[in-house]
């Protein structure tokens, strides 16, 4: 006798043996018992969930000869006393039950010859003439049109049972003439229970964790799981271990997935390369491994959010291990990991070198942990702005955060440390690095020196540049205006070299390194009244000529305005007495006048009340003839 595969040998023989489709089998049994039979049924659902099996069971129940009429308990074919009708239907050789493969009989001529041409003849022996059409969605449009009237009003004692994996491809005109049953994917626990029964009957020794891996590999399909079980038995024989299942099916075990998760948590990118090498050496399919890892991240997210055991029935790791791993990440981390890995899995389909693609994908996951969320960056900028406004140092950061000076990305710009200007005893704001007149040290409201505030940023290129730039703008604005908006114009904020250093830093941010070099070559630079005076030695006259160009002077004025809040002129001096002052242009004079008018309008109480009432802003200021 030839060998019969497990999927065929253990095909359900009664409605009670159909696993995971209890609502459907109950409906069909009740319809048979109460004689409420329909003339057309449509079974749809995923592969290997029992559609064709249920169709044969229904045909056997309608034509079983051991009862006077249709019975919900037809004969079992393994019973020697089974009737001829049930045995022939199980073996697909019954005269009155015709199984048609729509994939190979798609044309209208096949439909006319097989169905329409024979439907008028009465059953040769059984009660009903039954047409089982598998993969019915493969029929052509003309074939469906030819069947419409026949399916709607077939002759007496004719039943149509159609099965499909793609119900959306079946025309609505056919669907409306059928009773529709949607077959569900089968739960892993029920597949495991069925496989355990088969293993005992086949006298196969296999531990539950290995059997669970086989059930999980079926992905809700009983037939796929049984075929995988058959494959493992062929590989390992009657005594099976978990390692045999992993080798035979090429699935990733819990140990490999745990290594990946620990590598991400501990930021060990080298572990990604080791894991991929291990997977390749074991002969696992890389895309299947990527899918297993996707499912594992899904299980971790479910554990983190819900923790429901019902949603974790197909998890690879046990409940305690999932809880331990989920505690290492936030929900946002797991969502980012899932989306990044899903992109890698898609690329593996067409990748010329799948191994390289997977290695880079796993390293990307481990590097992704270093990213900080936008919310965290905004919170840190708010804390920095508050510290500059109040003159207090920001709260200490949690361990593990990264500072710009220690772990900054090579592409991130260096950002100088900025100290908030302290209040003088008279209530005005003293410039950083200076002391109020008549005092020996910088005084604050409490009599203590102000604390220095350093920028901190994430160790990633984009996030670091964004935060550093925004922090620089905030700090420059706050230092220019002073705490609580107090003006510092009277304190001459650019009176010493530290402020010239700020000008150089601003030029560096604009990538104007030749201007920085020219300033560094100056003998002295300071603010005198409303001018930035830069003194050069005679032998550095060429540096003066570089700065004196109109475009460069414009850049210097813009930088000075950013720092001081007012327009400054620029004057160049050669130490032997030669002067090269640059008078303000007409445009600069008009711009200064408009700035003065804007400041006057902003201080007007009526204007302030109008802005608050209508939530408006000043767009332009013009001088009227009356003024």
| pLDDT per position as a tens digit, 347-380 | 998 888 989 999 999 888 888 777 766 777 788 8
Radius of gyration of the chain (CA): 41
Cα 54 to Cα 14: distance, rounded to the nearest angstrom: 9
Dihedral (CA of 539, 542, 548, 552) sign: negative
Please name the fold of domain 492-584.
Answer: GMP Synthetase; Chain A, domain 3 (3.30.300)
- Looking at residue 464, what is its pLDDT? 38
Domains in the chain: boundaries: 6-183, 188-249, 254-368, 375-416+443-484, 492-584, 586-627
As a residue count, the chain comes to 627
Higher pLDDT pick, 43 / 505 = 43
| DSSP helix/strand/coil, 328 | coil
- Looking at residue 28, what is its pLDDT? 95
Comparing 268-277, 334-343, 600-609, which segment has the lowest mean pLDDT? 600-609
Residue 344's CB is within 10 A of a number of other CB atoms, namely 23
Residue 320 corresponds to which tokens in the numbers above?
């305690």
Question: By the 8 A CB rule, do 168 and 195 touch?
Answer: no
Higher pLDDT pick, 84 / 566 = 84
Which residues are paired to 164 by β-bridges? 44
Cα 558 to Cα 549: distance, rounded to the nearest angstrom: 14
CATH code at 188-249:
1.10.8.60
Higher pLDDT pick, 189 / 618 = 189
- Of 260, 266, 258, 265, which Cα lies nearest the Cα of 321? 258
Residue 613's CB is within 10 A of a number of other CB atoms, namely 8
Question: By the 8 A CB rule, do 532 and 569 touch?
Answer: yes
Local confidence band at 15 (pLDDT 50, 70, 90 cut-offs): very high
Cα 464 to Cα 255: distance, rounded to the nearest angstrom: 36
Cα Dmax for the chain = 127
Burial 520-545 (b: 16+ CB within 10 A, else e): ebbeebbbeeebbbbbbeeebeebbe
Task: Give domain 254-368's CATH number out of 1.20.272.10, 3.20.20.100, 1.10.3720.10, 3.90.1150.10.
Answer: 1.20.272.10
Cα 468 to Cα 462: distance, rounded to the nearest angstrom: 10
CATH code at 6-183:
3.40.50.300
Question: By the 8 A CB rule, do 157 and 128 touch?
Answer: yes
Which single residue is written with the structure tokens 């620089």?
Answer: 472
- Looking at residue 597, what is its pLDDT? 81
- The answer on pLDDT for 297 being more than 70 is yes
- Of 186, 151, 223, 181, which Cα lies nearest the Cα of 43? 181
Same topology, domains 254-368 and 492-584? Answer is no
- Looking at residue 449, what is its pLDDT? 34
State pTM to two decimals.
Answer: 0.57
Question: By the 8 A CB rule, do 403 and 467 touch?
Answer: no
- Looking at residue 583, what is its pLDDT? 55
């Amino acid at each position: 006798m030839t060998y019969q595969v497990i999927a065929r040998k253990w095909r359900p023989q009664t409605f009670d043996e159909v696993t995971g489709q209890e609502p459907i089998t109950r409906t069909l049994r009740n319809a048979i018992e109460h004689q409420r039979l329909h003339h057309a049924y449509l079974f749809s659902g995923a592969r290997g969930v029992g559609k064709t099996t249920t169709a044969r069971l229904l045909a056997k129940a309608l034509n079983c000869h051991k009862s006077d009429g249709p019975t919900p308990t037809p004969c079992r074919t393994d019973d020697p006393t089974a009737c001829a009708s049930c045995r022939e239907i199980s073996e697909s050789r019954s005269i009155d039950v015709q199984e048609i493969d729509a994939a190979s009989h798609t044309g209208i001529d096949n439909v006319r010859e097989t169905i329409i041409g024979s439907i008028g003849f009465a059953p040769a022996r059984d009660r009903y003439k039954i047409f089982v059409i598998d993969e019915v969605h493969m029929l052509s449009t003309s074939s469906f049109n030819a069947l419409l009237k026949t399916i709607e009003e077939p002759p007496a004692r004719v039943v149509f049972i159609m099965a499909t994996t793609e119900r959306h491809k079946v025309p609505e005109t056919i669907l409306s003439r059928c009773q529709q049953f949607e077959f569900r994917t089968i739960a892993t626990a029920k597949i495991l229970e069925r496989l355990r029964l088969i293993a005992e009957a086949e006298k196969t020794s296999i531990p539950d964790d290995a059997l669970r891996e086989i059930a999980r590999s079926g992905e809700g399909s009983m037939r796929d799981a049984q075929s995988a079980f058959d494959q493992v038995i062929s590989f390992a024989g009657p005594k099976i271990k978990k390692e045999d299942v992993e080798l035979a099916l090429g699935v990733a075990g819990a140990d490999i997935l745990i290594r990946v998760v620990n590598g991400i948590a501990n930021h060990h990118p080298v572990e990604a390369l080791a894991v991929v090498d291990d997977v390749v050496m074991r002969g696992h399919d890389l895309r299947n491994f990527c899918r297993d890892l996707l499912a594992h991240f899904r299980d971790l997210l479910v554990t983190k959010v819900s923790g429901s055991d019902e949603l974790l029935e197909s998890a690879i790791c046990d409940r305690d291990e999932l809880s331990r791993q989920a505690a290492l990440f936030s929900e946002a981390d797991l969502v980012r990991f899932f989306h990044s890995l899903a992109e890698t899995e898609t690329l593996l389909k067409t990748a010329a070198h799948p191994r390289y693609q997977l290695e880079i994908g796993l390293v990307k996951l481990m590097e992704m942990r270093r990213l900080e969320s936008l919310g965290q960056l905004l919170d840190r900028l708010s804390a920095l702005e508050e510290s500059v406004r109040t003159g207090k140092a920001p709260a200490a950061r949690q361990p593990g955060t990264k500072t710009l000076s220690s772990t900054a990305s090579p592409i991130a710009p260096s950002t100088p440390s900025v100290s908030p200007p302290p209040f003088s005893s008279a209530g005005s704001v003293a410039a950083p690095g200076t002391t109020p007149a008549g005092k020996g040290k910088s005084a604050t409201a409490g009599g203590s020196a102000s604390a220095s505030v350093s920028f901190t940023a994430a160790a990633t290129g984009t996030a670091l540049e964004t935060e550093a730039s925004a922090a620089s703008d905030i700090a420059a604005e706050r230092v220019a205006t002073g705490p609580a908006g107090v003006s510092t114009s009277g304190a001459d904020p650019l009176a010493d070299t530290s402020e010239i250093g700020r000008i150089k830093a601003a030029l560096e941010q604009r990538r104007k390194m030749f201007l920085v070099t020219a300033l560094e070559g100056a003998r002295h630079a300071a603010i005198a009244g409303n001018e930035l005076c830069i003194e050069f030695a005679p032998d550095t006259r060429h540096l003066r000529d570089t700065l004196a160009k109109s475009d460069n002077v414009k850049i210097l004025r813009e930088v000075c305005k950013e720092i001081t809040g007012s327009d400054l002129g620029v004057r160049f001096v050669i130490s032997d007495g030669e002067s090269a002052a640059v008078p303000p242009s007409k445009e600069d004079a008009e711009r200064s006048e408009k700035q003065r008018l804007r400041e006057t309008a902003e201080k007007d109480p009526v204007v302030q009340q109008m802005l608050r009432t209508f939530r408006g802003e000043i767009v332009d200021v013009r001088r009227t003839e009356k003024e």
